Amino acid sequence: MGTLRPSSVAVHEGEDAKIPSEVHDHQKDLDAGALFVLKSRGSWLHCGYHLTTSIVAPPLLSLPYAFAFLGWTGGIFCLVIGALVTFYSYNLISLVLEHHAQLGHRHLRFRDMAHDILGPKWARYYVGPIQFMVCYGAVVACTLLGGQCLKTIYLLSSSDGTMKLYEFVILFGCLMLFLAQIPSFHSLRHINMVSLFLCIAYSVCATAGSIYIGHSSKGPKKDYSLTGDTQDRVFGVFNAIAIIATTYGNGIIPEIQATVAPPVKGKMFKGLCVCYAVVAVTFFSVAISGYWAFGNQAEGLVLTNFLDNGKPLVPKWFILMTNGFTILQLSAVGVVYLQPTNEVLESTLADPRSKEFSARNVIPRLISRSLSVVIATIIAAMLPFFGDINAVIGAFGFMPLDFILPVVFFNLTFKPSKRSPIFWLNITIAVVFSTLGVIAAVAAVRQIILDAKSYRLFANV
């Protein structure tokens, strides 16, 4: 089995429920990041809350925009394939984690899995950096989107207001600054329970608003044709695939499973069932209703379609309510994706031999987490075109973490026969999504080049 690394817990599935003191005894082997941030105390239901917040997030409001590049058939096909492949891949990661836990070596982080399955160089120079890039990029994106929603509310209330976008980004960053101090991932369980209902609420609002506008004479003329020349259409398809892949993206499955109290067997599957029940309700309703109502005029965020030259096409209170739900859930999503950063900071700066809330650990935690949020807020305020950059991050990050590495980890861990269907299914998924990831990255870089002329620091977009 090899020696235990300080980032893993030595447990035995059959014994840990009966003798919790054994798990406690092994806590001395953990670094401060695993000990204080990734506390293993949650239930499968808590796991479902964390998964739902990390996957069912406001980027789902961009799905009608993705459909505008794919059309009805391509859009629904990609949405279904994305759901099936990610549900399958996340279950594979869970099975690999359970397998190692049963062997007495429980992995708590993505890079721990990569270290033991692929080798230390893969963990240090590939998996660790792209996970950090994806998660911190998600924090920046949530901060920017939160600022944009606040600006929408402001302009509805005061159409001649003079406040700029970066000011609203800073306001949202202040909320994040407060929530970032919540000590552990497990401590977010109640916030993420509320987040689950919030994502359903704004998805229902987005769907209802789209149907209302689609049935009224206020909305645009419905046109489902694919616009642009052949080159634009091709790159548009791959941009849309990257959007859908990023929407289903997670990148922190091991960290979420680390919050589950042992024995972990079967708990992740139940949590995923909770999450994907919400996915089925939200993703498909928003994507289909939004594309039906607005066709190829669907904006990058479907809520933008609810305004026509600043004039609301639905009651003003309805837009205010929908944006309010979105802002609140964005704060929860941002804090969830801040956890890998918190864990790295904690393992570097905190002392596992001191108490979690001792001055020795609280002061570095307060300073480092605050600095982390301040930097994310500055980036979001400076780069309001971060959506283009996030598409590149999604192609380079979410594709490998959520579509490719899970099947590779499974094949290397369980070594299925080359004659078995599961082996070739996993190989097919790895090859197809590796190819899609490269092409999507090229398409995203092309989009940055095309939009570069409109880029300006602290732009009020």
Domain holding 430, by residue range, is: 42-452
Question: Quick check: is 29 in a domain?
Answer: no
Question: Quick check: is 348 in a domain?
Answer: yes
Question: Quick check: is 35 in a domain?
Answer: no
Cα dihedral value 267, 270, 276, 277, nearest 10? -150
Report the C-alpha gap between 387 and 390 in whole angstroms.
5
Report the pLDDT value the prediction gives residue 461, as an integer from 0 to 100. Answer: 67
Report the pLDDT value the prediction gives residue 22, as an integer from 0 to 100. Answer: 39
Report the pLDDT value the prediction gives residue 386, as an integer from 0 to 100. Answer: 61
Report the pLDDT value the prediction gives residue 210, as an integer from 0 to 100. Answer: 95
Question: Quick check: is 24 in a domain?
Answer: no
Per the structure, the count of domains in the chain is 1
DSSP characters for 115-182?
HHHT-HHHIIIIIHHHHHHHHHHHHHHHHHHHHHHHHHHHHHH-TT----HHHHHHHHHHHHHHHTT-
Question: Quick check: is 194 in a domain?
Answer: yes
Question: Quick check: is 344 in a domain?
Answer: yes
pLDDT per residue over 189-203, tens digit each? Answer: 999 999 999 999 999
pLDDT per residue over 25-77, tens digit each? Answer: 445 567 888 888 888 899 999 999 999 999 999 989 999 999 999 999 999 99
Report the C-alpha gap between 13 and 8 in whole angstroms.
14
Question: Quick check: is 460 in a domain?
Answer: no
Q: Which CATH number does the domain housing residue 281 bear? A: 1.20.1740.10
Average pLDDT, the chain: 87
Question: Quick check: is 461 in a domain?
Answer: no
Q: Which residues of the chain have pLDDT under 70?
A: 1-29, 386-388, 390, 455, 458-461
Report the pLDDT value the prediction gives residue 156, as an integer from 0 to 100. Answer: 86
Report the pLDDT value the prediction gives residue 13, as an integer from 0 to 100. Answer: 40
Residue type, 83: A
